[in-house]
Amino acid sequence: MFLKSLTISNDKKVIRKIEFRKGINLIVDESQDQITGNNVGKTTVLMLIDFCLGASPKNIYVDPESKKQEYKSVKDFLIENEVLITLILTNSLDDETAKEIIIERNFLSRNKIIRKINGHQYIDDEFEPELLKLIFPDHYAEKPTFRQIISHNIRYKDQSINNTLKTLDGYTSDAEYETLYLFLFGCEFNKGNTKQEILSKLKQENTYKNRLEKQQTKTAYETTLSLINNKIEELNKQKANFNLNENFEADLDKLNNLKYKINKTSSEISKLNIRRNLIIEAEQELNSTKSDIDLKQLQLIYQQATSQIGNIQKTFNDLFNYHNQMVIEKVKFIKKELPSLDSVIQNKNNILNNLLSDESSLSASIAKSDLFEVLENLIIELNENYRKKGEYENIISQLVEVENNIKDYNKKLDEIDNELFSDEFEFIVKNQLDKFNKHFASISNSLYGEEYAVKYDQITNRKNQRLYKFSAFNTNMSSGKKQGEISCFDIAYTLFADEENISCLHFLLNDKKELMHGNQLVKIAELVNRNNIQFVASILNDKLPEELNHENYFILKLSQNDKLFRIEN
């Protein structure tokens, strides 16, 4: 897919229309006394393209260095003027009849929001999956996501400007990068999403285990329980030395047994509630990303649409069911044990209530005995030990369960890893990287006279999980030039993907290209111009090399007197 045009408009006029061409596409800042960061909007052009591809609207009007600070004039302008951003992608810039994808987004909310692809409105959860289906039709797995796949094509944030491969946010795990680059390099492995789900469940189980072992480890609880059992045995022997009538002895034993069951049941309920709360916390965290939708309003809109437009393929029930199914699928995995857990908790509460009732009646009966006062201290101590016995037995039981879960997840992970790290699959990874590195080394050699390459290492992280870790390096073992390495990688990947028939975007968005030496920028222009790649870059006019200071390479010229949104005008 290539960029065809980007239009900024409202219902009254077109504010800007930027038409893209093959090869180098320069967004130039012509301001006098130029410095990086003139705030004329050259980086914002890249952000608007990213916005149309699913990025947050806040990127446009929130200071990236201070997330709480907004550019109020820009935000107010976009909302009050109901500004619409339209991005057109095309399969070919040479063929007017080529397939196009028309994306429209605005900055309004609720029923005024526009989030369209080829004229169809989509809710937030549907938008990126639809782009994924259109641009990467052969990718069906949940991971890597659409935004992850295109992250190396769009470089205006510090993370992607300064890193060749680590283009996602700083919290992204090595497991996610593994899944991403196995996909990008054409190493077909359809269990990457399953692996990440297992790793997520392992994290949850380990968190639960750490909470249970907050005071002591499992072995410490087992040792303490053994001592408690010895103490109970000793106290029972002391109690047996009293000359008690048969009924009193039986009632006292029954009371002690009741207290033990009460304490054990209470502890079980407490630990079950911890597990339940963990699941609910995870569910709430997942649901916090869910967009709200007014179904009644959607039905009214649909009814109005069907009354005016014929041949609408999707029924209201289709939309309604799809919406519900999206929510269900997202939380189903994390909360599938919740119903059975609630049932167990309810059952335990009923048992506890019955035990408490029996204890109350039996305690009242025993208290009437003249010997009760004599045995009071002994019984108190015995009951306390039974309470601890029940509590510790339940903690140990919970720890055994969570350890078995961890063992089961690790076993499933090992099964996946045995396939992932087999000699056969590693051969595929090595072979695909060799193909890619031919392009990477060739392009970097033509730009810098040095050869760059991507390598992989099989690592074991601090959680003892095996991973493929990909990294770029200079084969001459020198420090290299990071900006050049990044551009070489992006161009090389496009050539590699075309050679391997892997779907990819044929445009590369780059900010702050004034940081690159002019000679290399000229060579990049030559490379992309002859290799059917769009290279969109923002740059200060006085940093342009003479060879590129030509109108044929400019798609937009901005200045302090003519900023992108023309708010001042």
Place 324 in a pLDDT band, splitting at 50, 70 and 90: low
DSSP output for 355-410: HHHHHHHHHHHHHTSTTHHHHHHHHHHHHHHHHHHHHHHHHHHHHHHHHHHHHHHH
Cα–Cα distances in Å, from 567 out to 62, 75, 499, 562? 17, 11, 45, 9
The pLDDT value given to residue 479: 47
Per residue in 545-556, pLDDT (tens digit) is 889 988 999 999
Per residue in 62-109, pLDDT (tens digit) is 987 777 788 899 999 999 999 999 999 999 999 999 999 999 999 999
Strand pairing partners for 468?
458
Type of residue found at 410? N
Place 202 in a pLDDT band, splitting at 50, 70 and 90: confident
Per residue in 504-517, pLDDT (tens digit) is 999 999 987 766 77
**Integer Cα distance of 49 and 509 in angstroms:** 9
| 251 CB-contact burial (10 Å; exposed 0-12 / middle 13-18 / buried 19+) | middle
More confident residue, 19 or 235: 19
- Strands 507-510 and 154-155 turn out to be parallel
Q: What integer is the mean pLDDT of 413-418?
A: 82
What is the value of pTM for the model shown? 0.67
Average pLDDT, the chain: 85
Per residue in 252-290, pLDDT (tens digit) is 788 888 888 888 888 888 888 888 888 888 777 767 655
Q: Is the Cα torsion angle 421, 422, 427, 428 positive or negative in sign?
A: negative
The pLDDT value given to residue 191: 67
Element (H, E) at 184: helix 174-184
* Residue among 12, 46, 197, 182 nearest 539 (CA): 46
Among the ranges given (54-58, 150-154, 255-259), the one the predictor scored with the smallest mean pLDDT: 255-259
pLDDT exceeds cutoff 60 at 377: yes
**Integer Cα distance of 423 and 407 in angstroms:** 25
| 168 CB-contact burial (10 Å; exposed 0-12 / middle 13-18 / buried 19+) | buried
Sheet holding 14-19, edge to edge: 14-19, 2-9, 84-90, 100-106, 115-117, 120-121
The pLDDT value given to residue 246: 56
Give start-end residues of each CATH 3.40.50 domain in the chain. 1-145+503-512+553-569
Say if CB 490 and CB 514 are below 8 A apart.
Answer: no
**Integer Cα distance of 447 and 451 in angstroms:** 9
pLDDT exceeds cutoff 90 at 146: yes
Say if CB 445 and CB 476 are below 8 A apart.
Answer: no
Place 135 in a pLDDT band, splitting at 50, 70 and 90: very high
pLDDT exceeds cutoff 70 at 311: no
Tokens read off for 353 = 């209530």
The pLDDT value given to residue 568: 76
More confident residue, 231 or 141: 231
Among the ranges given (134-148, 186-200, 258-272, 297-311), the one the predictor scored with the smallest mean pLDDT: 297-311
- Domain 1-145+503-512+553-569 sits in CATH at 3.40.50
The pLDDT value given to residue 435: 96
pLDDT exceeds cutoff 60 at 316: no
pLDDT exceeds cutoff 50 at 23: yes
The pLDDT value given to residue 25: 95
**Integer Cα distance of 475 and 471 in angstroms:** 12
Place 26 in a pLDDT band, splitting at 50, 70 and 90: very high
Place 223 in a pLDDT band, splitting at 50, 70 and 90: very high
pLDDT exceeds cutoff 80 at 224: yes
pLDDT exceeds cutoff 70 at 373: no
Place 190 in a pLDDT band, splitting at 50, 70 and 90: low
The pLDDT value given to residue 292: 57
Q: Is the Cα torsion angle 537, 540, 546, 551 positive or negative in sign?
A: positive
